[in-house]
Amino acid sequence: MPALLKPGFTRAEWIFSFKAFAAAMLAVFLASWAGQPRPFWALMTAYVVAHPMAGAVRSKGLFRFLGTLVGSTAAVLMVPRFVNAPELLSLALALWVAGCLTLSLRDRTPRAYAFMLAGYTAALIGFPAVDTPLGIFDTAIARVEEIGLGILSASLVHSLVLPNSLASSVLGLLDRTLGDTRAWLGDIAKRQDGGADRRRVASDITQLRLLSIHIPFDTSHLRWTADAVHAMQDHVAALTPLLAGVEDRLEALQAHGGIPDDVRALLDRIGPWLALPAARAEAELPALRAQVAALTDETRRTQLADDPWARLLRVALAERLEGLLDGWLHCVQLRSDIDLGLSGAPMPTRALVAPSGHTLHRDMGMALWSGAAALIAILVCCAFWVLTGWPMGSAAAMMAAIFCCFFAAMDDPVPAINGFLHWTVLSMPVGALYVLVLLPLVQDMWTLMAVCAPVFLLIGCYIGRPATVGSALPFLFGVIGTLVMHDTAQADLTSFLNSMLGQLGGVFVAARVTRLMRSVGADWSARRIQRTTWRELDDLARLPRSAARGQAYLLRMLDRISLLAPRVAQAGGSVPGVPTDDALRDLRIGANLVALQSVRDQLPAVPLRPLLDALSAWLQRRIAGDLGAAPQDLLERLDDTLARLVQAYPPLAPLPDPVRPAASALLGLRRNLFPEAPPALLFAINDTPHDQHEENRA
Would you say the C-alpha torsion 646, 301, 322, 238 has a positive or negative sign?
Answer: positive
Report pLDDT digits (tens) over 465-518: 888 888 898 899 888 877 776 655 555 666 667 777 877 888 889 999 999 888
Number of residues assigned to the chain: 698
Residue 488 is predicted with a pLDDT of 57
Query: Nearest-CA neighbor of 336 among 374, 390, 261, 279?
Result: 279
484 Cβ contact partners less than 8 Å away, ≥ 6 residues apart: 38, 40, 41, 44
Q: Would you report the helix, strand and coil content of the chain in percent, each value rounded to 5?
A: 75, 0, 20
What percentage of the chain reaches a pLDDT higher than 70?
Answer: 84
User: Taking the model in full, what pTM does it have?
Assistant: 0.78
192/194 Cα distance (integer angstroms):
6
Residue 547 is predicted with a pLDDT of 57
Cα within 13 Å of Cα(331), Cβ side:
25
Residue 539 is predicted with a pLDDT of 86
Report pLDDT digits (tens) over 140-180: 898 899 999 999 999 999 988 888 887 888 888 888 888 88
Find residue 350's DSSP bridge partners: none
**How many CB atoms within 10 Å of residue 33?**
11
Query: Nearest-CA neighbor of 367 among 121, 557, 110, 101?
Result: 101
Residues of the chain with pLDDT under 70: 1-7, 189-199, 202, 298-306, 347, 349-359, 485-496, 544-550, 565-566, 568-584, 604-605, 648-657, 680-698
Could you please report the per-residue DSSP string of 260-296? -HHHHHHHHHHHHHHTS-HHHHHHHHHHHHHHHHGGG
3-state secondary structure of 659: helix
H helix runs in 543-658, sequence order: 547-570, 585-599, 609-623, 632-647
Q: What is the dihedral of CA 145, 146, 148, 153, to 10 degrees?
A: 140
**How many CB atoms within 10 Å of residue 51?**
21
Mean pLDDT of the chain: 80
Residue 103 is predicted with a pLDDT of 92
- The answer to whether the bond into 658 is cis (omega within 30° of 0) is yes
Query: Nearest-CA neighbor of 581 among 186, 180, 193, 238?
Result: 193
390/386 Cα distance (integer angstroms):
8
540/10 Cα distance (integer angstroms):
51
154/142 Cα distance (integer angstroms):
18
Residue 1 is predicted with a pLDDT of 46
639 Cβ contact partners less than 8 Å away, ≥ 6 residues apart: 670, 681, 682, 697
Residue 335 is predicted with a pLDDT of 87
434/472 Cα distance (integer angstroms):
17
Evaluate whether 532 touches 560 at the Cβ level (below 8 Å). yes
Could you please report the per-residue DSSP string of 412-446? S-HHHHHHHHHHHHHHHHHHHHIIIIIGGG--SHH
**How many CB atoms within 10 Å of residue 613?**
13
User: Which of the 8 DSSP states describes residue 252?
Assistant: H
Report pLDDT digits (tens) over 627-645: 778 888 888 888 888 887 7
Find residue 575's DSSP bridge partners: 578
Residue 2 is predicted with a pLDDT of 47
Residue 276 is predicted with a pLDDT of 85
Residue 156 is predicted with a pLDDT of 92
Find residue 578's DSSP bridge partners: 575
CB-based burial of residue 246 (10 Å sphere; 0-12 exposed, 13-18 middle, 19+ buried)?
buried
95/149 Cα distance (integer angstroms):
29
* Cα Rg of the chain, angstroms: 30
601/616 Cα distance (integer angstroms):
19
